[in-house]
Chain A
């Protein structure tokens, strides 16, 4: 149980275009999802917390107008990278907790999206 699916697995786009990444909880409802960014050989950096039915909470230094997050349903959160530039190239991963689980429970991660901006 507690499967998180993320699409696409990889995407190549041209500079200036926008890219949407989807994160779905397949067998549970997730009121909160987390979006991470990971550079090569580096740690998972939290970008924002996605809250169903309300605005996302962004971490310091993350541009909310550039990384648009929508959590319109209990099973879907989307991250849109707007006006992408080569420096946005990275590995983006979403995660969620099983419903009803407290903070001291593990996260379930999506399979990640490799974004390459040319």
Chain B
């Protein structure tokens, strides 16, 4: 089955800095990679996703890059703000198993 590794587990940055979270996956058939943000005690919410036919996708301060050859994808947050503080999960899924496999999560702390 799919195995998703996520790093780092904790990331602390100053407001205005950039933050990068990296994930690797094992199943070369995986072709959908969503990122979810979960604030404390709340539900995970999709912030951005990418499909395997695209190498990069951007939405304002958030971008995701995908390297299919290396089987890794990354979340980039620029100009971080305190409200970006949350746990971020990456996930990967394929047509063979339509249920996404989640990474262990990254706790992002943005200091004002």
B70 at the binding interface (Cβ < 8 Å): no
Please judge, given known A-B contacts A43-B105, A112-B43, whether A106 and B49 are in contact too, CB under 8 Å: yes
Question: When chains A and B are docked, how far (Å) is the Cα of A96 from the Cα of B51?
Answer: 19
From 66 to 118 in chain A, residues with beta carbon under 8 angstroms from any chain B beta carbon are 93, 102-107, 109-112, 114
Please judge, given known A-B contacts A34-B99, A103-B98, A111-B43, whether A44 and B93 are in contact too, CB under 8 Å: no
Question: When chains A and B are docked, how far (Å) is the Cα of A41 from the Cα of B100?
Answer: 19
Q: In the bound complex, do residue A112 and residue B102 qualify as a contact, i.e. CB atoms below 8 Å apart?
A: no
Q: Of B43, B93, B99, which one neighbours A110 at CB under 8 angstroms?
A: B43
With A41-B107, A93-B43, A103-B93 known, 8 other A-B pairs at CB within 8 A are A34-B99, A41-B87, A42-B104, A44-B89, A49-B99, A103-B95, A107-B46, A109-B43
B61 at the binding interface (Cβ < 8 Å): no
In the assembled complex, the CB of B102 is this many whole angstroms from the nearest CB of chain A, namely 5
* Residues in A neighbouring B87, C-beta threshold 8 A: 41
Binding site secondary structure of chain A: loop
Q: In the bound complex, do residue B99 and residue A112 qualify as a contact, i.e. CB atoms below 8 Å apart?
A: no
Number of residues from B at the complex interface, CB < 8 A: 26
In the complex, residue of chain A having the shortest beta-carbon distance to the beta carbon of B101? A46
Q: In the bound complex, do residue A93 and residue B93 qualify as a contact, i.e. CB atoms below 8 Å apart?
A: no
In the assembled complex, the CB of A33 is this many whole angstroms from the nearest CB of chain B, namely 11
* Residues in A neighbouring B104, C-beta threshold 8 A: 42-43
In the complex, residue of chain B having the shortest beta-carbon distance to the beta carbon of A43? B104
Please judge, given known A-B contacts A103-B93, A111-B42, A112-B42, whether A43 and B102 are in contact too, CB under 8 Å: yes
* Residues in B neighbouring A43, C-beta threshold 8 A: 89, 102-105
Question: When chains A and B are docked, how far (Å) is the Cα of A109 from the Cα of B97?
Answer: 19
Question: When chains A and B are docked, how far (Å) is the Cα of A114 from the Cα of B40?
Answer: 12
Q: Of B31, B41, B51, B100, which one neighbours A107 at CB under 8 angstroms?
A: B100
* Residues in A neighbouring B42, C-beta threshold 8 A: 111-112
In the A-B complex, the 10 residue pairs with the smallest Cβ-Cβ separation, listed nearest first, are: A103-B98, A104-B32, A109-B43, A106-B46, A43-B104, A44-B102, A111-B43, A43-B102, A109-B44, A106-B34
